[in-house]
Amino acid sequence: MPAMYEDLQIISYPDPRLKKPSAPVNAVDDSLKELVARMLQLMREHHGVGLAAPQVGQNIRLFVMNHSGDPKDDRVYINPELTEAEGAEDAEEGCLSLPGINANVVRDKTLRMRAVDLDGRSIDQKETGYIARVWQHEFDHLNGTLIIDRMGAVAKMAARKKLRELEEAYEAAHPRPPKPKLLRRK
Ligand code: NI
């Protein structure tokens, strides 16, 4: 794995890269395969069910998931499109970029997914329930949407302390340059 990807880490709220809409993937090449390998590794290390490229600071339309924990269930979706939404379901979700926060989110129950896999082949799948929920959570990341953007006002109030802690940790790690002193007019 090139050094370019082996140092990638999962970024947390409020890193601005999580809010940025991602651009389509142009080519499924070796570099993309190495990125996916690192994302799968990080997802496993952090016991996640899914991980989207923006969560490792790469604003491209790609995510990985594994709903069972068995490596043969690894799934890679490139340039995903979700259609044919049916039904609605409310359930709790977490996010590797929002450690310590869980939120109930209403999602479509059934969806059709069209995407490209890591071999460049077309994917056309239909899922109901948990996998469809993971699809929607990860797809949201590609559009800069986090679960806190889908939380109700009450849930957001409850998470406020934890969000503030994450904001403070980010500010401590990314100090802002001092403001230029205003020149006093004579
Ligand atoms: Ni997430």
pLDDT, mean of residues 135-154:
95
**C-alpha span between 76 and 14 (Å, rounded):** 26
- By DSSP bridging, strand 102-116 and strand 122-128 are antiparallel
138 is annotated as an active-site residue: yes
Expressed in angstroms and rounded, the spacing between residue 141 Cα and the centre of ligand 1 is: 7
User: What domains can you pick out in the chain, each with its CATH number?
Assistant: 3-173 (3.90.45.10)
pLDDT in tens, 88-108: 999 999 999 999 999 999 999
**C-alpha span between 88 and 86 (Å, rounded):** 7
Expressed in angstroms and rounded, the spacing between residue 131 Cα and the centre of ligand 1 is: 14
Is residue 63 within 8 A of residue 79, CB to CB? The reply is no
pLDDT in tens, 33-73: 999 999 999 999 999 999 999 999 999 999 999 999 999 99
Expressed in angstroms and rounded, the spacing between residue 2 Cα and the centre of ligand 1 is: 25
Expressed in angstroms and rounded, the spacing between residue 182 Cα and the centre of ligand 1 is: 41
1 pLDDT more than 80: no
**C-alpha span between 161 and 159 (Å, rounded):** 6
Is residue 43 within 8 A of residue 131, CB to CB? The reply is no
**C-alpha span between 69 and 74 (Å, rounded):** 8
Encoded amino acid at 100, one letter: G
Catalytic residue among 6, 92, 138, 171: 138
The model's pTM is 0.92
Residue with tokens 């994917």: 123
Expressed in angstroms and rounded, the spacing between residue 132 Cα and the centre of ligand 1 is: 14
For 77-135, the DSSP string reads EEEEEEEEEEEEEEEEEE-TTSTT-EEEEEEEEEEEEEEE-TTS-EEEEEEETHHHHHH
